[in-house]
Amino acid sequence: MTIHILGSGSATPTVTRNPTAQLLEVSGRYFLIDCGESCQISLLRKKIPLLKINHIFISHLHGDHWLGLPGLISSMHLAGRKLPLKLFCPAGMEQILQTIFSHSETQLQFEIEFSFHHPTEKKVIWENADLEIFSFPLAHRIPCHGFLFNEKKRLRNIRREAIEVYNIPVEELINLKLGKDWLHPDGRIIDNRLLTKDPKPSSSYAYCSDTEFAPHLASYFPEVSVLYHEATFTEELIERAKLTYHSTAYQAAEIAYLAGAKKLLIGHFSSRYKDLNPFLLESQKKFANTCLVFDGFSLDF
Ligand SMILES: [Zn+2]
């Protein structure tokens, strides 16, 4: 997996931070997560072809998370898109887009397949053979959802040399990859670990968009490889965080700690902060493996 941060700011942009947008790349597929203003420009800077994005996830309807979406869809239309676009979003998004495109007399040449968030529980919203994607509710001023991208467990890798030694038929290999032992024609049971190697560990990415501090969230993504959690304020503005249903850097770190995450990314910084170092120091008091994100940041994991 690779995460690309297209926008790391919150409500209002600054000269260095656009509102929230991220792109997760999994085995050549692109998943766009939120689409704040300037998302398109950040995609251009990253040289991501717009038409390769087939899945978009919008966490909630505050403008800093979706105001780039009508523009992005318009550009896809102008670029000749024909393939349907899957849009996972709150129900109101459909009406917003219909209103915009009806008043601009834009007849999209492709279908938008809407899928609306489930209000109260963690739920699989998309999957294929390698990946499953969940949404889960966050605790914000308006309905808001996070997303978990989970690579499915990989098959075990065959040890070619052992296969030759035991002369195992090709049709048995799938059972070995699934972890089964091999029953030799002479009656011996050959331990699977002699015949296969561990696969590369699977990765996962959890995205906690806008939310107040809610410890139960950690149960939605146990032992996640990389957790992104908003950190709009530092602890000195904890009352402001409560009032606006946002989190502090320390609270983000507590969620990462409770979830047993391997790495924490924090972003969605309030535009009032010029120096972000206090966010890092505060978060690292609770969770050492924290990283501040910035526009253009990418991480492979
Ligand atoms: Zn919000």
pLDDT band at 54 (very low <50, low <70, confident <90, very high): very high
Q: Check residue 203 and give its pLDDT.
A: 96
CA 102 to the chain's CA centroid: 31
Question: Ligand 1: distance of its center to the CA of 111 in Å?
Answer: 27
For the residues 110-122, what does the mean pLDDT come to? 93
Tokens of 152: 């499915």
Tokens of 94: 């459909």
Q: Check residue 71 and give its pLDDT.
A: 96
Answer yes or no: 181 catalytic.
no
The upper half-sphere exposure of residue 183, i.e. CA atoms within 13 Å in the direction of its Cβ, equals: 1
Beta bridge partners of 228: 207, 265
Q: What is the pLDDT of residues 284-295, one digit of tens each?
A: 999 999 999 999
Tokens of 114: 């809407």
Query: Which of 33, 87, 85 lies closest to 205, judged by CA?
Result: 33
pLDDT band at 119 (very low <50, low <70, confident <90, very high): confident
Query: Which of 41, 44, 22, 40 lies closest to 32, judged by CA?
Result: 22
Cα separation, 136 vs 134, in Å, equals 7
Question: Ligand 1: distance of its center to the CA of 232 in Å?
Answer: 10
Catalytic residue among 34, 64, 210, 295: 64
Complete DSSP assignment for 235-299:
GGGHHHHHHTT--BHHHHHHHHHHHT-SEEEEE-B-TT-S--HHHHHHHHHH-SSEEE--TT-EE
Q: Check residue 13 and give its pLDDT.
A: 87
Residue 118, H or E segment: none
For the residues 79-84, what does the mean pLDDT come to? 96
The upper half-sphere exposure of residue 161, i.e. CA atoms within 13 Å in the direction of its Cβ, equals: 3
Q: Is the confidence at residue 224, as pLDDT, over 90?
A: yes
Question: Ligand 1: distance of its center to the CA of 183 in Å?
Answer: 58
Cα separation, 229 vs 212, in Å, equals 11
Question: Ligand 1: distance of its center to the CA of 36 in Å?
Answer: 11
Beta bridge partners of 132: 127, 150
Q: What is the pLDDT of residues 96-111, one digit of tens each?
A: 999 999 999 999 999 9
Residues 6+ apart with CB under 8 A from 246: 10, 210, 211, 212, 230, 232, 233, 240, 268
Q: What is the pLDDT of residues 132-150, one digit of tens each?
A: 999 999 999 999 999 999 9
Q: Check residue 12 and give its pLDDT.
A: 87
Question: Ligand 1: distance of its center to the CA of 178 in Å?
Answer: 43
Cα separation, 36 vs 211, in Å, equals 17
To the nearest 10°, report the CA torsion of 22, 200, 222, 192. 160
Question: Ligand 1: distance of its center to the CA of 241 in Å?
Answer: 12
Beta-sheet pairing, 53-57 with 29-35: parallel
Helix (H, G, I), strand (E, B) or coil at 219: helix
Query: Which of 219, 168, 171, 213 lies closest to 194, judged by CA?
Result: 168
CB 175 within 8 A of CB 185: no
Between 59 and 118, the higher pLDDT residue: 59
For the residues 273-287, what does the mean pLDDT come to? 96
Cα separation, 151 vs 46, in Å, equals 24
Q: Check residue 200 and give its pLDDT.
A: 87
Q: What is the pLDDT of residues 230-246, one digit of tens each?
A: 999 999 999 999 999 99
Q: Is the confidence at residue 11, as pLDDT, over 90?
A: no
Q: Is the confidence at residue 216, as pLDDT, over 90?
A: yes
Query: Which of 266, 228, 49, 29 lies closest to 129, judged by CA?
Result: 29
Q: Is the confidence at residue 7, as pLDDT, over 90?
A: yes
Question: Ligand 1: distance of its center to the CA of 35 in Å?
Answer: 13
**Strand stretches in 91-244, DSSP E:** 112-116, 123-127, 131-137, 145-151, 157-158, 182-183, 189-190, 196-197, 204-208, 226-230
Q: Check residue 118 and give its pLDDT.
A: 83
What is the average pLDDT score of the chain? 95
